[in-house]
Amino acid sequence: MSSKFSQLVDSAQEFLPLLPWGVEFEKDKFLRPDFTSLDVVSFASSGIPAGINIPNYDEIRQNEGFKNVSLGNVLSAASQDKRVTFLTTTEDQGDFTDLRGKAFEVQVGLHELLGHRSGKLFSKDKNGVFNFEQDKVINPLTGDKISSWYNPGETWDTQFSTIASTYEECRAECVGIYLSTDRNILRIFGYEGAEAEDIMYVNWLSMLRAGLIALEFYTPETKKWRQAHMQARYVILRVLMDSDTPVFNIESVTGSDGKPDLLIRFDRNKLETIAKPVIGEFLNKL
């Protein structure tokens, strides 16, 4: 795993331009992150992460770099749960069971190494100096010049407050599924041909399913989410659900136990033609 992720980092400057924003929205210099894969003996938490990206101080991350830690045995353990809910066809069930571990490895690598790594925070220092060409850079959503930036003392967390973590996790997850369609990236992980196509599909299917499962972490009484990653995945589900051309649907059915159930039907033929452009547009807005 370490060799795959290291190769992904080495090729980052090839893959970052594939993201749906211009080079002016990327850091001036690629700061190669330190990467380590660890096996965990114990982890005192109600939810064990598959990867960790540190530090959380944006100024350090942007100017000095950051570290990535992958918890290797969490990746393998996460794919051993045989219970597969919300999937319809025997083919989807089989592909998901067989390939979700491999797809998850690809998603974690892209999420941590290129998701959290990508993008630049525009700022002005105490001397009034901008870290971008303020008179030239254009907002792709409005066509106007950039009109806001971080001033001294302002950080991502101070500006976005309670949604800061969810916002960033949503961005990183979107980068993961968006770039997982690139065959050169899949080749780094050792997948080509039909297997690569199936892993790509399972990764997107996993994200849709995760968005549905994420509702377990929403409290209707307070209208609050209890976990940033889960809220982020639900947002991705809704973005794809609300696209002009549907790429999937969720059916309300009666399960084999006689109780109400839900099933996801995802049209894999629309993955690259419709779903990917929708996420690309959403990424640009994020």
Stretch 7-21: mean pLDDT:
91
pLDDT band at 27 (very low <50, low <70, confident <90, very high): confident
Model pLDDT, residue 64:
72
Q: What is the CB neighbour count within 10 angstroms for residue 54?
A: 14
Tens digit of pLDDT for each residue in 96-110?
888 998 999 899 889
Query: Is the confidence at residue 81, as pLDDT, over 70?
Result: no
Q: What are the catalytic residues?
A: 112
Report the distance separating Cα 59 and Cα 241, nearest Å.
Answer: 36
Tens digit of pLDDT for each residue in 185-242?
999 999 999 999 999 999 999 999 999 999 999 999 999 999 999 999 999 999 999 9
pLDDT band at 70 (very low <50, low <70, confident <90, very high): confident
Is residue 55 reached through a cis peptide bond, with omega within 30 degrees of 0 on the bond before it? yes
Tens digit of pLDDT for each residue in 131-176?
999 999 999 999 999 999 999 999 999 999 999 999 999 999 999 9
Query: Is the confidence at residue 60, as pLDDT, over 80?
Result: no
For residue 180, give Cα distances in angstroms to 65, 110, 177, 183, 283.
24, 8, 5, 8, 14
Query: Is the confidence at residue 88, as pLDDT, over 80?
Result: no
Model pLDDT, residue 141:
93
* HSE value, Cβ hemisphere, 13 Å, CA-based, for 53: 22
Report the distance separating Cα 151 and Cα 128, nearest Å.
Answer: 9
Top mean pLDDT of 36-40, 85-89, 93-97, 118-122 is at 118-122
Contact 187, 157 (CB under 8 A): no
Model pLDDT, residue 190:
96
Higher pLDDT, 113 or 244: 244
* HSE value, Cβ hemisphere, 13 Å, CA-based, for 97: 13
Model pLDDT, residue 80:
59
Tokens of 53: 């990206």
3-state SS, residue 264? strand
Query: Hey, where are the domains in the chain?
Result: 2-121+148-285
Chain-wide mean pLDDT for the chain? 89
Contact 174, 283 (CB under 8 A): yes
What does the angle CA 189 – CA 194 – CA 199 come to, to the nearest 5 degrees?
50
Contact 254, 260 (CB under 8 A): yes
